[in-house]
Structure 1
Amino acid sequence: HASAWASGFLNYYDACSEGLRAASPLLKFGGPGDSFHPLPKSPICWSLLRHCYNGTNFFTGETGVRLDYISLHKKGGGSSLYILQQEVEAVEQIQKLFPSFASVAIYNDEADPMVGWSIPQLWRADVTYAAMVVKVIIQHQNLLISKPNNTINYTLLSNDNAFLSYYPHYFTQRTLTARFQMNNTKPPHVQMVRKPVLTVMGLLALLGEKQIFAEVNSSEGESTQNSTIGVLASVHTPSEMQPSDSWQATLLMYSSEDNRTSSNNSTITVNTTQFPRLRELVYVTYYLDNMQTNPYLKWKKLGSPDFPSPEQFQQIRDAEDPVATGPFPFPEGGILTLKQDLPIPSVFLIHICARPRSVPDQVTGVRLIPLTKGQVIVLWDDGCVNSKCIKTFEVEFSPDGKAYRRINAKNTIFTLWVYSPGSSVSGFYRVRAIDYWGKAGLSSLPVEYVEAFE
């Protein structure tokens, strides 16, 4: 019976709230994490808000129950702007019915472009999905969060993508990686390939904390509401306490027609002005499109193997990282003008950094995950490096812990690398960060790996 179920759910909410409060008053709790369709649909959503607004707490007898955030799930149906439009509609209804909830934090923690995670969609395999994720974020920043008359306390935007793809849809489900279940080895093992959508999420980490003004001027004069090209600019002000940190500005651009791929190509000119005259300013660009950074396309060209060989995995993974250029010195006059072709879909990021007072801090947390004979995953943490102006991480190996040599030939700013040399992988591993000025941070503590496979 629906009403009995609803009252049980509300008691459950109160129990969670009081239990968490007893554990720590710092823990945040809210809900319901559901669709919030207009009334009379979504009865559980609306009854929870009513209960928290002026209902009776089952455990304390008080009127009203804490609601630290309101979480809703609004998906795009293949459109980016539709997500934002549905959120605004739902929150306006919430504010009308429950005026004192007007300032409560709003989360959309399932802002996916389309429902049905397991339904294979070609656009989920490549940069189309990656560019759409960026577009949704930039629309929220530009059309909602940064608006002076905004009344919505929009706090969290995330996706429901923690799934593992399965045969034969390795790349085309709503996942961040392509999973290959390698049942042709003894014992069987699993290989993962990073999809462009996860690569782009790594690039988002280069954004600063403060949004600054940026706009797109188009000769066609199209509306900026749902335009094909969009931009977000940010700055990062360093902490005085971190000599390895420095002033940064980031420009993030997308070219996207939502979940459609098109043969259209735009040439953009980026003008950045009024930059501070800081010490040894440099810039680096990162670029993603479906020709150069598309592991799915590489896999298709190899004949779509179910069990790629180590050499084939190497070729597929060579398309994981963005195309990076630079670092280049920032022009003396403080004005940078760049031209860039942006096919649909594509993502382009410019990262501008002032030189820090010291080298990057030490890489920590190196760990090794066995894959199969002759293959190991090297993982590390960059949380203590205290610099985002990193050109690459160098992964070094020594069979005996004495003389080390670099083993990752390609530069990468990501913190995972697969070592598959075709020979023994037993030995010692360490990782260090190299900044945009070529200065190396301290190597991590070495970690020994002893191969257990026969």
Structure 2
Amino acid sequence: MLLFRPLLLLLLLLLALATRQLGHAHYTSGDVVYHALPHFWTGVGFCPAGDINHGGISGALEAPEMQLQLRQIGALPAGAVTHIRIHWLLELVQFLEYSTEGVPQYDYEKFDRFVDMLQEQQLSPVLEFMANPGHVFTANPERNWFLWEHFVKSIINHQLARHGAARLSNWRYETWNEPDLRSYNRINFTAASYLEYVQAVRRGLSKAGGRRKSKRQQQLYRALRGPAGLFRSEQHHPFCWQLLELCNQQLSKCPIDILTYHRKGLDGSATEILNGSLALLTKIYQDYPQLQQLPVANDEADPVAGWSTPRDFQADVRYAAILISTVMQHWQAKLAGGVMSQLESISHDNAFLSYHPYEFSQRTLLAHFRMNETQPTHSQFVQKPVYAALGMLAKLGTRAADLELVNMDSKHSVQVLRSISGNGVAQYMATIFLSPEQAGPQLTAYHHKYTLNMSIANESAFITELLVPHSTDPAHVWQQAGSPAYPNATLREAMRRAQTPRLYETGPIWQYNSELVVNSASLPLPWVMLLRVCSAAWPKLKRPQQLEIVEVTQREVFIRWTEQSRSTQCLKSYEVWFRERVGSEWLHISMDWHLPYPSFQYAPGPNGSVNGFYKVRGVDVFNESSAFSQIVEYLEL
């Protein structure tokens, strides 16, 4: 923490003023109005590598490196990532044979196993109905109206029998991804057959589980998202536009419930992502006015197209800042009304597996090192700043104010997003400060005194965490070491010590009517600061649940656990404890680490052992500890 004092002079002396309610949906703290904040940015996605068939997709998704990566994504704070959108996921379903009536029979074993693993990681699938198991659909194009309905209905019925309707209500369902592109249109859709396909999918979703009559059952209606299109020229992308025409003619007969589209930036700007959405929706609403009633979602709200193209900004804090700015700007546009008023969600296509020599610079959440010189070979992952950014966003409250721009000088302004949860005595506040989107790292000679007119009741405490170039950039650590393809254990630990937001300051708040003073004159751009303030009456930390220890390689394990978001909003850090055998002393193996997220990679070195017992607890901003998790024993095979 002392290393940060030259970078940021921050005095926290306050935050008070009584909160009062202004209406059903709006709250004020001083002159700030708060609105209900749905966490609409919690989706990620990717396309598996390999051949697009049952063998290729199952091989890619069952690979140890993919399984470990998904565990890492699932080890973000509760609510950071809730949905994962995987192209060709339904190729895991295997065609077996036709029944005597000519109905396809399917084997769901691999699909079931993969979905169960996602559920264990607190992730829900976005089920894109895009697959051709056993070439069923290309072999029988004249029967697709029936085959798609049957395929969809059989998948949902199978999962309903396994998991129940409540769990499936968290899933999302979507039509074929970018059907107008030849690279995706692998079953040779025509305009007519595509519309037939979408309607068949809708029928299959509606008929699955039988007819629902009770009010509770009606609430489990499975919404269909689509058409997941690029919406370029109507001449070259006719399928998606014709679906909109069909829906505009009679909205009550429209097979989709949420209009999904893809709009990325052009050169890495969050503003471009938003402007692309605004332009597209303006055109759609002008030509198809009935569609203004549908919720909308940008499935692929990324800074620039081409996930595998290496770009320097995707390696470091710049990408983290762009993602946070994208969320902030979409929130501002949603509050402003207009064409973005129906925004339901945005998703980030950044859950790919990176590869050498672009471990950090591809559009991914994690840097992936394939350690080909070990026996056996294995994968190592390092969390990038953009991963940490999703964790910071997860700490926002249930209500948020409009985005504020604080002018620093004639050229620079800081984006500020305030949020709160609770009422009366039990209150929680989280504010994100985001420096200008600017190529970095570089210094600008400005500072600002910013007074937060938020309130806190009774005894309270605060915590500030930072993402800042170099200090929280594991890519910088790697580059300083010569960017080795196979980083050794010492370098891997150094990178992981730089992979989380850095704890800057935490402590009690003793008086009202004080100020937050940020002097950022020596802080390189871009930077992100998360400020959290908790009242003592806020729910206390609950014990960590579902502690899991997974082998990475010999004498190295990945440890993760699950948390409850409402109790962990006031978390300062986790502690991981280990003892080698019953009766031996418990060792605090994460003693000098800041662990704001529910995971830890433990590698005691060649003379150490990972065999033994593990337990975890949290420590909050009042320095009070939660109960320990259950003790879990791990034995290396």
**TM-score normalized by the length of structure 2:** 0.64
List per-residue Cα deviations over 1:278-298 (Å, max 9, x = no partner): 122211111111121110010
Residue 476 (structure 2) aligns with: 297
Equivalent-residue separation in structure 1 for 2:565 and 2:421 (angstroms): 17
CA distance in structure 2 between the aligned counterparts of 1:206 and 1:266, rounded to whole angstroms:
30
Q: Distance in 1 between matches of 2:539 and 2:397?
A: 20
**In structure 2, distance between residues paired with 1:436 and 1:196:** 23
The one-letter code matched in structure 2 to 1:209 is T
Match of 2:394 among 205, 219, 226: 205
CA distance in 1, matches of 2:362, 2:356: 10
1:427 and 2:615 equivalent? no
Please, which of 503, 511, 514 is the counterpart of residue 332 of structure 1? 511
Q: Evaluate the alpha carbon distance shift between residue 280 and residue 401 of structure 1 in structure 2; reply closer, same or farther with a 3 A threshold.
A: farther
CA distance in structure 2 between the aligned counterparts of 1:401 and 1:451, rounded to whole angstroms = 17
Distance in 1 between the 2:446 and 2:248 partners? 52
Give the 3-state SS of the residue equivalent to 1:344 in structure 2: coil
Compute the displacement of 1:250 (Å): 1.4
Aligned: 1:249 with 2:458: no
1:436 aligns with 2:608: no
Find out whether 1:81 has 2:271 as its counterpart.
Answer: yes
Distance 1:239 1:156 in 2: 30
Distance 1:140 1:387 in 2: 26
Q: Does 1:20 align with 2:205?
A: yes
Unaligned 5+ runs, structure 1? 56-61, 241-245
Q: Is the 8 A contact 2:406 2:413 kept in 1?
A: no
- Does residue 407 of structure 1 match 2:597? no
Rounded Cα–Cα distance in structure 1 between residues aligned with 2:566 and 2:517: 30
User: Post-superposition shift, 1:4?
Assistant: 5.7
Instruction: Map 1:376-415 onto structure 2 (within 5 A).
Output: 376-383=557-564, 386-402=567-583, 403-409=585-591, 410-415=593-598
Q: Secondary structure at the match of 1:311?
A: helix
- Quickly say closer, same or farther: Cα 1:68–1:90, change in 2 above 3 A: same
Q: For the Cα contact (< 8 Å) 1:271–1:335, is it kept in 2? A: no
Measured after TM superposition, the shift of residue 340 of structure 1 is 3.4
Check conservation: 2:539, 2:566, Cα contact below 8 A. Answer: no
CA distance in 1, matches of 2:538, 2:413: 40
**Change over 3 Å in CA distance of 1:110–1:216 after alignment to 2:** same
Question: Aligned residue for 2:20?
Answer: none
Instruction: Kindly indicate whether the alpha-carbon contact (under 8 Å) linking 2:407 and 2:413 is maintained by their aligned counterparts in 1.
Output: no
- The change in CA–CA distance for 1:346 and 1:170 in structure 2 (over 3 A counts) is same
How far residue 247 of structure 1 moved from its aligned partner, in angstroms, is: 1.5
Match of 1:355 among 526, 536, 539: 536
Larger relative contact order (Cα-Cα within 8 Å, sequence gap ≥ 6): 2
Find 1:263's aligned residue among 442, 455, 460: 442
Aligned length in residues = 435
Provide, for residues 2-55 of structure 1, a one-character-per-residue CA deviation record: whole Å limited to 9, x for no partner.
996222222221122122222364322121112122544531221121233337
User: What is the CA-CA distance between 1:166 and the residue it aligns to?
Assistant: 0.5
CA distance in 1, matches of 2:629, 2:271: 44
Equivalent residue, structure 2, for 1:159: 348
One-letter code aligned to 2:301: A
Distance 1:239 1:102, change over 3 A: farther
The amino acid of 1:254's aligned partner reads: L
8 Å contact kept, 1:228–1:257: no
Q: 1:208 to 1:384 in 2, by over 3 A?
A: closer
- 2:309 maps to amino acid: I
Instruction: Note the C-alpha offset of 1:152.
Output: 2.9
CA shift digits 1:223-276 (9 cap, x unpaired): xxxx65312111112799xxxxx4211111212435x33524254435234433
Aligned pair 1:345/2:560, yes or no? no
Matched, 1:128 2:318: yes
Conserved 8 A contact 1:270-1:339: yes
- Comparing 201-210 and 322-331, the one that deviates more: 322-331
Check whether the contact 2:539–2:567 (CA below 8 A) recurs between aligned residues: no
Higher helix share: 2
Letter in structure 1 aligned against 2:570: C
2:367 matched to 1:178?
yes
Aligned to 1:47: 242
| Paired residue type of 1:35 | L
Aligned to 2:53: none
Distance 1:126 1:4, change over 3 A: closer
Q: Partner residue of 2:138? A: none
Is residue 323 from structure 1 mapped to residue 502 from structure 2 by the alignment?
Answer: yes
Give deviations 1:131-174, integer Å, cap 9, x for gaps: 111111111122x1122566631121121111000011110100
**Alpha carbons 2:225, 2:259 under 8 Å: kept:** yes
Correspondence 1:146 to 2:326: no
Please report the TM-score for the alignment, with normalisation by the length of structure 1.
0.89
Give CA-to-partner distance per residue, 1:182-234, whole Å, 9 cap, x none.
11111111100000010111111111121125633326456xxxx65312111
Measured on the aligned residues, the alpha-carbon RMSD in Å equals: 2.5
State yes or no: 1:366 paired with 2:366. Answer: no
* CA spacing shift, 1:384–1:207, aligned 2, 3 Å: closer
Residue 231 of structure 1 pairs with residue 411 of structure 2: no
- Structure-2 residue corresponding to 1:32: 227
- Contact 2:403–2:415 (8 Å) recurs in 1: no
In structure 1, distance between residues paired with 2:423 and 2:588: 31
Note if contact 1:430-1:447 (Cα within 8 Å) is conserved in structure 2: yes
**Stretch of structure 1 that moved more, 331-340 or 112-121:** 331-340
- Structure 2, gaps ≥5 residues long: 1-185, 210-219
Q: Is the 8 A contact 1:128 1:256 kept in 2?
A: no
Instruction: Assess if the C-alpha contact under 8 Å between 1:130 and 1:198 holds in 2.
Output: yes
Query: Contact conserved, 2:561 with 2:598, CA < 8 A, in 1?
Result: yes
